[in-house]
Structure 1
Amino acid sequence: FGRCGGCQWQHIAYERQLGLHLDVIADQMRRLAHIADAPCEGIVPAPQAWAYRNNVQLHASPSGALGYVATDGSSVVSIESCPIAHDLVDELIAALEWQYAGLRRLTLRAGTATGEQMILMESEGEETPELELEMAASFVHLSASGRLTTLAGSPFLHERLHERTYRASGPSFFQVNTAQAENLVEVVQEYAALQGGERLLDLFSGVGTFSLALASRAAEVIAVESSPWSAADAEANGEGVGNFTILEGSAGEVLPRLDGPFQAIVVDPPRSGCGKEVIEEIARLRPERLIYVSCDTATLARDSVYLHQAGLRLERMVALDMFPQTAHVETVARFIS
């Protein structure tokens, strides 16, 4: 701690971390969204403050040792274990013996509710590495050109949220904190407030986490996802769900082709947020309510200004501590027309 760039708050008592998150949210909404008293309903603590991450990314130092990017943003701090990694991921860290010059990044993943483990290697070139694997983990290789090769096991793993099981391919995004992701789904369901007859649009949908959790409460669900791997996973996860459709493409590409209205829209963008152009297209679809899931309060605050200009008003919001021991926080906000 202190050299690794992953955790910033391990030295702070957990209850104080929660308070600091709320302070930061209030400050950023005040300064960037110009909302003096943001309607934040508090913060949902993480079920586990340690050993929660189902996904870590390792880099190679010049000597070949694997570790996290340091606080200087360039060097690598070698590790043998990680206190915020789930036990299934930490088991992978401890088992690694690595000799490969072309490594760009190594992602270790686990389905914490299913027990499945995966190693995703991203390389600088096209050469497929040789492998000796002495554990029941899947191993997939992603080349510089984007070719995905399964070297052992399966090209995807499974994770369970509540009673639904999701498939996630090696490069696909999935929430890093499985236990807290279940709470996140419940918040999105509450904020969406679906009655059964609505059309729902889910932008930046990933593997269909929110779409499929909400499908039974809506008349029609359309999901939009730019990653071909995540879109394929969403299609597989939605098999048999008759009112669910997945469209592959970026939000900016797909939105102009859609006709409204959608009574409810869910967005879960990357840290860069939605941006003004996407929000203008969202407004064209005349949503009654927009549920914005954010992993960066600064871009949520910026987008809140665009949403207000487009006729959508912030009604309520809540934080979830998705990333204990770090300064990052998840926020869900509901905007209404």
Structure 2
Amino acid sequence: MSQAPRNTDHTELVLEVGPVAHGGHCVARHEGRVVFVRHAIPGEKVRVRLTDDGAAAKFWRADVVEVLEASPDRVEHFWDLADSGRSWSHRHPPVGGAELGHISLERQRSLKAEVLAEQLKRLAGVEHPLEGGPSVEAVGGATGESGAQTRAGLGWRTRAGFAVTPSGKLGMHAHRSDAVLPVREMPLAVDGINALRLWELDLQGIERVEVAVPSNGSRPLVLLVPAPGTRAKRLSAILHQLPDDVSVASFDPVKGEVLQLRGRTFVQEAAAGHDYRVTGDGFWQIHRDAPETLVGAVTGFLHDGGFLAPGSVVADLYAGAGLFTAPLADTVGVTGSVLSVEGSPGASRDARKNLHDFAQVEIVQGRVERVLRQKPRNFDALVLDPPRAGAGKAVVEQLMSAGPRAIAYVSCDPASFARDLGYFQQGGWELSGLRAFDLYPHTHHMETVALLTPQGSNH
């Protein structure tokens, strides 16, 4: 249901908010057309501003500008710049990255569980993946219950990326927009990132800034992505605005090179009893507790199911810097073997440095499908941690043909995971275990770890 728009420069509607949908929005309808509404909660009545309403579009997009009938799960947003109503009252869109900050953490997790269940049912035909349905687990004590919502779920990001305003100030993009808004805090980031006070820098000549502050207290890294034609003198000027104990590097996106300006071109991370070097543009889980959480879930599924033991033959696919490879090598020991496959040359180089003490680990840089063709072997188990787009049908079929007794699948996107699960089911495999983690509080993202096994196997 909806009411007619007010007389404004931009179309506004009053909508009854329907169910949550994948992607950080809820579904509403206006005269039969679907409207994807951000910053709402199912059951609310809200006034929205249309942000994408082309006449030929199959659906529209909108932001909440006023809450007329609030959900009991609505709380005051912790960040003015990400609060939709406040932002539009100041005539600009909200920044992205905290689109669920108006919802209690407990309800955030229940909504994410609904999304996961809906994707599994719609894309994989899985009605009840676990008894009682999937739940999303809090991580790092961020429960948000008993009145602790005000600060809970904040300060977890050890990595953050920023845009730069035309005047050279630190900024962030609004959702699906080229607009860059200046920022003077990042409440989701660990204290070490905010302590750098990057918003005080003159960043003229820079297109993007990436910062990593390892949770183990090792040296932070600021990675600058200069605009074309920016001179070395400009980079040097920025370098001298930062504390001496901060590593600074620049990234050439054309050549894919990280260039040293001061200190290291990498950060030193730690997880599961191992140290990991991660080059400036390399991947590492951004939540401070994510590495330990995910390693525990993966090894728990494989070890407890009897798929991982001394002497086992396993592979870590899309292995990155080796987060899962090292714990796998610990378990299989010198009598076992671990094949580590990673497509990114930089991440693969990091893995070689991180894993050079493990004689049982073979590191291969290349596409997963190509490497598996070149190095066929009988695996006891596989660990699969693909990018957001998932593995895809061709890779899934290759994995099944490799004959493992189990696969631990780590996913950051419920839609691509559910699609791939459907491919596994078509090949005679089934979902034997599933855990979901709220590693991105106040955003719509979640992480899942699944145990997949051949149907009818004893596990």
Same fold (TM over 0.5): yes
Partner of 1:292: 409
Question: What displacement does 1:87 show?
Answer: 0.7
The partner residue of 1:147 within 254, 257, 260 is: 257
The partner residue of 2:310 within 185, 196, 211 is: 196
When the two structures are superposed, what TM-score results if normalisation uses the length of structure 2?
0.70
Letter paired with 1:209: L
Letter paired with 2:223: L
3-state SS, counterpart of residue 187 of structure 1 = helix
Partner of 2:158: 54
Whole-angstrom CA distance in 2 between matches of 1:73 and 1:95: 21
Whole-angstrom CA distance in 2 between matches of 1:222 and 1:57: 32
Partner of 1:252: 369
**Change beyond 3 A, Cα 1:96–1:247:** farther
3-state SS, counterpart of residue 135 of structure 2 = strand
The partner residue of 1:91 within 183, 195, 207 is: 195
Question: What displacement does 1:251 show?
Answer: 1.3
Are the equivalent residues in 2 in contact too, given 1:67–1:79 (CA < 8 A)? Answer: yes
Whole-angstrom CA distance in 2 between matches of 1:273 and 1:92: 35
Alignment map for 1:23-38 (pairs within 5 Å): 23-38=114-129
Partner of 2:209: 106
Whole-angstrom CA distance in 1 between matches of 2:226 and 2:424: 40
**Backbone CA RMSD of aligned residues:** 1.6
CA-to-partner distance for each residue in 1:126-157, whole Å, 9 max, x for gaps?
Answer: 75422313341111111132232100011111
Asked if 1:306 corresponds to 2:397, the answer is no
3-state SS, counterpart of residue 260 of structure 1 = coil
3-state SS, counterpart of residue 246 of structure 1 = strand
Q: Highest relative contact order (Cα 8 Å, sep 6+), 1 or 2?
A: 1
Whole-angstrom CA distance in 1 between matches of 2:219 and 2:137: 27
Partner of 1:42: 135
Partner of 2:384: 267
Alignment map for 1:77-88 (pairs within 5 Å): 77-88=181-192
3-state SS, counterpart of residue 127 of structure 2 = coil
Question: What displacement does 1:187 show?
Answer: 0.5
CA-to-partner distance for each residue in 1:162-212, whole Å, 9 max, x for gaps?
Answer: 321111110110000121321111001111221212111111101000011
Aligned length: 336
Whole-angstrom CA distance in 1 between matches of 2:345 and 2:200: 29
Whole-angstrom CA distance in 2 between matches of 1:261 and 1:123: 47
Are the equivalent residues in 2 in contact too, given 1:227–1:249 (CA < 8 A)? Answer: yes
Where does structure 1 lack aligned partners over 5 or more consecutive residues? none
Asked if 1:205 corresponds to 2:319, the answer is yes
Are the equivalent residues in 1 in contact too, given 2:170–2:203 (CA < 8 A)? Answer: no
Partner of 1:180: 290
The partner residue of 1:228 within 325, 345, 352 is: 345
Partner of 1:216: 330
Letter paired with 2:278: A
Instruction: Name which of structure 1's ranges 238-247 and 64-73 shifts more when overlaid on structure 2.
Output: 64-73
Asked if 1:325 corresponds to 2:435, the answer is no
Greater Rg over alpha carbons, structure: 2
Question: What displacement does 1:278 show?
Answer: 1.0
Where does structure 2 lack aligned partners over 5 or more consecutive residues? 1-81, 85-93, 143-152, 455-459
When the two structures are superposed, what TM-score results if normalisation uses the length of structure 1?
0.95
Partner of 2:112: 21
Are the equivalent residues in 1 in contact too, given 2:109–2:135 (CA < 8 A)? Answer: no
Whole-angstrom CA distance in 2 between matches of 1:42 and 1:150: 44
Letter paired with 2:257: R
Letter paired with 2:208: R
